[in-house]
Amino acid sequence: MFNKDFIFGVATASYQIEGSLDADGRCKSIWDTFTEDKKNIIDGSDAKVCCDSYLKYKDDVKLIKELGVDAYRFSIAWPRVIDENNKPNKKGLRYYINLCKELIKKNIKPVVTLYHWDLPQWLEDKGGFLNDEISNYFEYYVDVVTKALDGLVTDYITINEPQCVIYTSHVACVFAPGTKYSDKEILKAVHNLLLCHGKAVKVIRRNVKNSTVGIAPCSRPAIPVDPNNELLVQKCYEKYFECKKEGEYANLVSIYSDPIFLGDYPKSYYEDFKDILPNITKEDLELIHQPLDFLYQNFYSGTYYNFDKDGNFKLEPFYPGFPVGNIDWLQVVPEALYYGPKFLYQRYKTPIIISENGFCDNDFVSLDGKVHDPGRIDYLRRYLNELERVSKEIDVRGYFVWSLFDNFEWNSGLSKRFGLVYVDYKTGERIKKDSFKEYKNIIKKRGE
């Protein structure tokens, strides 16, 4: 049972649902460019229509209302609201104003993500996150948005998953723009991204009365196989917050969240990268370290760890046949919603909101015309049980399911389905899955 103020929500992102990519003067984003090369997207699809939410937003809000959530998390497309001359685009802004009004009319709280990966292409052409001016451009964009949504939105998330903006896009190179960065460039881009965050927070505090602000990193918690082994739990905590040159440091937690919540990069960062550090000033660190109301976090899976027989701390591989979703990184590890929030709270002492959690399944329409998704239902229940358990120990304020709809799943295109609502991309038809009804019931009973 969650307390009565606990926020139940559902989440989407602009590029994954809107379609209408040429409408009302929207300019090109890095994902438009990336999808032009069919080899970048597993099924060769694109986001030109997907859920068609730019045109169907009123239907979206009806569905959200029927689901019974307290809040709807969506993102704003930078290329819709700022043109190539870096001037506001009124028509693009109008869409988000209308959407917010529709939500508020139905008593649903809008939670706005300012950056969910659709960078304007013209800014990428100027160097993207390697351009030292990027945080000034972001600051201006956030100023325009917060003024346009004045009186409608109080809850802002600056950036979704910095890990994907840097690591997945520039190390793994499977997300747009897909260009490889050297270690030195990664550190510079990370620092610029953190400055974007810091400047955005200041603008929001200035423009928005009673604002609540946070950032939404993602992480894959290290889970102790034996919860009663205190040393193992401690080692998992250390693993989770590791920042080492030989590790996937840009895909982990501390390189972003330590400067934001603790005011400085980890000690190991300065040691491991001493020859290639970006220019980091005291003023920068202060700017990045703005007080935040929430630490949002996207959790999907986790990784188990154990001691081997010689007492060495070791990754515990998933056994053959381990429960998985329909996408390669999605092992079902419900304890992620226990240890993840717990470790984050221990280190950063900031109230936690789960900004994304959800399941990818091989959903299709059955003979009876319905979409049955017992796997997703089971996943949600198991994860919520763990969240409820940890909510008795630490301050957890909310939970958002990813996602309202099946949508454009980035480099997996339209081939991977995460929705509570099924989308038939041939006809545009939307069908509520069984999990939609289940989540609706969970919310009604406040997670009982």
Active-site residue 248, yes or no? no
Q: Which residue in the set 218, 288, 371, 384 belongs to the binding site for ligand GBH (CB under 6 A)?
A: 218
Q: Report whether 137 contacts 90 (CB < 8 A).
A: no
What is the smallest separation between the CB atom of 395 and ligand GBH, expressed in angstroms?
A: 23
By CB under 6 A, tell whether 172 contacts ligand GBH.
Answer: yes
**45-80: b or e for each residue (b if 16 or more CB lie within 10 Å)?**
bbbebbbbbbebbeebbebbbebebbbbbbbbbbbb
Instruction: Select 284 or 409, whichever has its Cβ closest to ligand GBH.
Output: 409
Looking at the Cβ atoms of 284 and 356, the one nearer to ligand GBH is: 356
- From 42, 104, 130, 174, residue interacting with ligand GBH (rule: CB under 6 A): 174
Task: Name which of 141 and 400 has its Cβ closer to ligand GBH.
Answer: 400
Say whether residue 12 binds ligand GBH (CB under 6 A). no
The first and second tokens of residue 401, run together, are 């399911």
In the bound state with ligand GBH, the residue whose beta carbon lies nearer, of 322 and 329, is 329
| Residue list 131-170, contact with ligand GBH (CB under 6 A) | 160-161, 164, 168
Q: Which residue type, as a one-letter code, is found at position 188?
A: K
> What is the smallest separation between the CB atom of 90 and ligand GBH, expressed in angstroms?
27
**356 labelled catalytic:** yes
Chain centroid, CA 389 distance in Å: 23
How many residues line the site for ligand GBH (CB under 6 A)?
16
**Structure-token pair, residue 124:** 């990428």
Rounded CA gap, 102 and 289, in Å?
Answer: 34
* Minimum CB–partner distance for residue 40 and ligand GBH (Å): 12
Are 304 and 316 spatial neighbours (Cβ–Cβ below 8 Å)? yes
The tokens for 272 are 């491991």
Q: How far is the CB of 58 from ligand GBH (least distance, A)?
A: 23
Candidates 249, 402, 405, 439: give the one binding ligand GBH (CB under 6 A). Answer: 402
For residue 435, give the amino acid letter: S
- For position 384 contacting ligand GBH by CB under 6 A, the verdict is no
Q: How many CB atoms lie within 10 A of CB 368?
A: 7
Taking the least distance from each CB to ligand GBH, the nearer of 13 and 204 is 13
Binding map of ligand GBH across residues 324-363, x = CB under 6 A, - = no contact: -----x--------------------------x-------
Number of alpha carbons in the 13 Å side-chain half-sphere of residue 91: 10
**Shortest separation between residue 73's beta carbon and ligand GBH, angstroms:** 10
- Alpha-carbon span 12 to 165, nearest angstrom: 17
Q: Name the residue nearer to ligand GBH (CB basis): 172 or 225.
A: 172
Q: How far is the C-alpha of 196 from the C-alpha of 204, rounded, in Å?
A: 12
- Concatenating the DSSP letter of every residue in 241-278 gives T---TTTTGGGSSHHHHIIIIISS--HHHHHHTTTS--
The mark string for 257-286 relative to ligand GBH (x by CB under 6 A, - otherwise) is ------------------------------
Q: Taking the complex as a whole, how short is the minimal distance between the CB of residue 376 and ligand GBH, in angstroms?
A: 13
Which residues, numbered 288-307, are part of the site for ligand GBH (CB under 6 A)? 298, 300
Residue among 95, 418, 422, 439 that touches ligand GBH (CB under 6 A): 418
For ligand GBH, the closer CB: 164 or 187: 164
Query: How far apart, in Å, are the Cα atoms of 57 and each of 19, 53, 78, 186, 396?
Result: 11, 5, 18, 37, 30
Q: Does 409 bind ligand GBH (CB under 6 A)?
A: yes
29 binds ligand GBH (CB under 6 A): no
b (16+ CB within 10 A) / e for 422-447: bbeeeeeebbbbbbbebbbebbeeeb
Selecting among 18, 102, 124, 161, the annotated active-site residue is: 161
The residue (of 221 and 287) whose beta carbon lies closer to ligand GBH is 221
Minimum Å gap between C-beta 172 and ligand GBH is 4
Residue 362 CB coordination number (10 Å) = 11
Q: Give the active site residue among 356, 386, 388, 409.
A: 356
**DSSP H/E element including 87:** none
Residue 312: Cβ within 10 Å count: 8
Provide the 8-state DSSP code for 223. E
Q: What is the set of active-site residues?
A: 161, 356
Residues that bind ligand GBH (CB under 6 A): 13, 16, 160-161, 164, 168, 172, 174, 218, 298, 300, 329, 356, 402, 409, 418
